[in-house]
Structure formats: C-alpha cells, structure tokens
Amino acid sequence: MKCFLDFKPNGGLCHILATAYRFKQEQGWRRFDFPSGKAGSRMDRAVEMLVAAERALVQNRCLTIPCVFVRPEVDKATATKVKDSVRRHQGTIAETEAEATHIVYPAVDPTEEEYARPTMRRDRSVLLHWYYFPDSYDSWSVFDLPFEFSETGFGTSTPKSTYKVTATWALDIDQYNEWMNEEDYEVDDNGQKKVHKFRLTVEDLMAQPSHPPSSAKKPKRKRSPSPPPKLGKRKSGRGPSNLAAGSSAMTTPKKTRSGVDEEEDLTQGMEDPPAEPRIVEVVANPSNPPNS
C-alpha cells in the first residue's frame, strides 16, 4: 500500500504505472479491465501483470520482501507458526539477526491507549492508520490533531533497515493476507512494547466536534421575502386566493415550497354553501307576554 503513495520520481507509484502500461501494450489491451471472476485467461493475465509490478518494485528497491529471524526466547510452537506464515507470503527465514529485515520477539499485550495514529496530513485532512490493521485499511478523515504534525509529503519517510517486532506481527498476516504495519508491533531491545509518539486514543477521537468549525461552514442562504398578499374574496380555505384568473386558476395545480405538485382541489369551482338561518332564542318575561 505504501508504494501507491510514493509519488517521488522513480518511486513506487512510478514503477507500478510503468509496468502496467508496458504490460497493457504488450498484451494489446485497449483498456485496463480487471475481471471479477476466479478463472479465465483474462484473470491470469491480470495476475501476471501484478506479479510483474511487484518484481519491478523489488528490483528498484521500492519494496523489500521480509527476511525474518525468530529469537530463541520465542516458544517453539509460536516460532513454527511464525515461520510458516512468513513462508506462505513469499518471505524468507534468516539464520542470524545480521541478515534479517525483521527480528521477531515474543508476543506482548497491546496497550489500551493505542487506537489510531496519523501518517499524512493535508490541511485538516488526515490519513489515519488504525492499529493492528494493515495499511489498506487506512482512511482519510477531517480531524484536528491534538498535537503538532507537519504537513509531510507522500512517500518522504525512510523505512528502517531492521524492525524489531512481536510475534503477533507475523501471526496476523494470515488473517488479512497482507503484510502488517511494523510500527504497530515494534518493541525495544528488551522486548517491551514501544509507544508511538503520535498515537491517538479513543478519547482523542471522540473529543472531536461532530460538526466542522464555524470558519468552515458555508454561509446560510438568505430567505427570500414573502410575496405581497393578493386582494380579493376568499372563496374557500383550500382554494387559490384569487379566482379572477378563471379556469386557468382551476387547472393550475398548487405548488409547495419544495416544488412538488399537490393534488388538485376538486372544490375550487363550486359555490359556497348557503348560509344557515340565524335562530335567536327569546326569553318570555312579564313585560313581554307571549301572544295568545
């Protein structure tokens, strides 16, 4: 994954694209088409292209296939699993620490404070790496880091010549079918877990506001003034306010604010019902006797 983010001249991405376009020309492809099936000549050619890209990365020292040395203090059962996992993923086993790229120590428990860490930054956009997941799970997020983190360029970090990692680094390879990030499993010379200076805890992530800062908000659109009320007698509470338009007012559906037509009012052209007679009760009193 890191090779795809290496934008330097003659870097990882340069060799990946050069190999892919060279292979495309040799095969006479009109375009890149990666089939989704598990069989077929097209799939075989695609796999062959990826193998050629990996070979180009190794030859140009953009990618190093791990050569692993397992320290004697690792128990035999775990050491066997580590070696088998490394071999299944085209790695090699070193006989001495001097020739190894990765030195495996006994497994240690991860700390609870480890959750994520930034790897790159572009303004407020941060590429977060999630602990104990491979680099392919990294994701961009708008995040205000609680510490200073320079806006570094892609692919500018120099990989170490030798990594000291726990046995879990090799055991997790089978679960994700790709090499894990060494910095998640790094230990010191005594086999103690190293603490990354840019680690982020769950509390750090949860402390972020759920909305962008006010400076990043778009200005609200001003509300349009309401149209002046139309004059005229109101025939019905559901009908249009002015019937002087005649039949055109009856055939034109009323629109809501969202622009969606409402159902046509079938009572628009009907006359108002006649007013009911007003009945007033008169109470008889001595000064106003009822008629006999």
Type of residue at 257: R
Residue 148, Cβ neighbours under 10 Å: how many? Answer: 6
Model confidence at 244: pLDDT above 50: no
Cα 140 to Cα 128: distance, rounded to the nearest angstrom: 6
Looking at the chain, the number of H-run helices and the number of E-run strands are 7, 7
Model confidence at 217: pLDDT above 60: no
Q: With contact defined as beta carbons under 8 Å apart, do 129 and 214 qualify? A: no
pLDDT score recorded for residue 103: 97
pTM: 0.61
Residue 231, Cβ neighbours under 10 Å: how many? Answer: 8
Q: Tell me the three state secondary structure of residue 25.
A: helix
Cα 134 to Cα 170: distance, rounded to the nearest angstrom: 12
pLDDT digits (tens, 9 = 90+) for 42-80: 778 888 888 888 888 888 878 888 999 999 999 999 999
Determine which of 4-13, 176-185, 204-213 has the lowest per-residue pLDDT on average: 204-213
Model confidence at 291: pLDDT above 60: no
273 pLDDT tier (thresholds 50, 70, 90): low
Greater model confidence, 166 or 201: 166
Domain with CATH 3.40.50.10190 in the chain: 66-210
What number is the average pLDDT over the span 173-201? 91
What number is the average pLDDT over the span 178-182? 93
* Domain 66-210 homologous superfamily, CATH: BRCT domain (3.40.50.10190)
- Which residues are registered as beta bridge partners of 69? 103
For residue 196, the number of C-alpha atoms closer than 13 Å in the C-beta half-sphere is: 24
Q: With contact defined as beta carbons under 8 Å apart, do 90 and 54 qualify? A: no
Tokens of 22: 């060279």
Model confidence at 33: pLDDT above 80: no
pLDDT score recorded for residue 166: 96
- Reference 119, options 130, 109, 127, 131; nearest CA is 127
CB-based contacts of 127: which residues, under 8 Å, 6+ apart? 118, 119, 120, 121, 138, 139, 140
223 pLDDT tier (thresholds 50, 70, 90): low
DSSP 122: E
pLDDT score recorded for residue 6: 74
pLDDT score recorded for residue 55: 87
pLDDT digits (tens, 9 = 90+) for 94-139: 999 999 999 999 999 887 778 888 888 888 888 899 999 999 999 8
pLDDT digits (tens, 9 = 90+) for 2-20: 777 777 787 778 888 888 8
Residue 94, Cβ neighbours under 10 Å: how many? Answer: 17
**CA-to-CA dists, residue 201 to 114, 159, 207, angstroms:** 6, 25, 10
Chain position carrying tokens 């559901």: 238
